Amino acid sequence: MSQGHIGTAGFAARKVDLVPEGVDPNIFHPSCRAWHRARSRDTFRFLMVGKFEARKGYTQLVEAFVKAFGNDPNVELLIKGDFFHQGGEVRGAKLLDLVKRADAPNIRLLTGDASREDLFMIYNAADAFVFPSRAEGWELPLIEAMACGLPTIAVNYSGQTEFLKEVEGHFMPVAHRLVPINDPEYQQFALGHEGD
């Protein structure tokens, strides 16, 4: 698919084809969902996977979860957010602090390295995937979760719209409004300079 705006990068749009990033269907697939749903478990598990940073909406997610479910032991929020390009210890401490301040024992952090196979098992330990990010280039964990057949709640804005439009009616969009991104890491990497 050709994109007209690509021409601004110095290439004629007619000479550029975009190949969307995808997932390995041998690893990320929905074949375990029926087994998962058949298991007897009283706890409903939401899952969020992605690098911990402001634009991903972790603060809003935790606040919304606490407001909706409080300390209900029948509902959990699992967070796999320890993907850090820089400042890993600081980011990890901030994520831990966010969860501690929520004072909700039904919010759990999943930490440590995870292979693609580990991530497949994490997705299949959940009942729904939630992704409140406000800006993405593509968002691989979202498409991995959807490839596993995980019911999904996502913001239908930014990079993920390219594949969400293909499954319209199979995900629940989150209403949103646009605001400036005030995230130094985003400004440094996405805009190529340090933000203020």
pLDDT value at residue 92: 76
Whether pLDDT at 62 is above 80: yes
pLDDT value at residue 194: 43
E strands, 24-170, where? 44-49, 75-80, 107-109, 128-131, 152-155
pLDDT value at residue 125: 87
Of 114, 101, 57, 107, nearest in space to 78 by CA: 107
Complete domains list, the chain, with CATH: 26-190 (3.40.50.2000)
pLDDT value at residue 99: 93
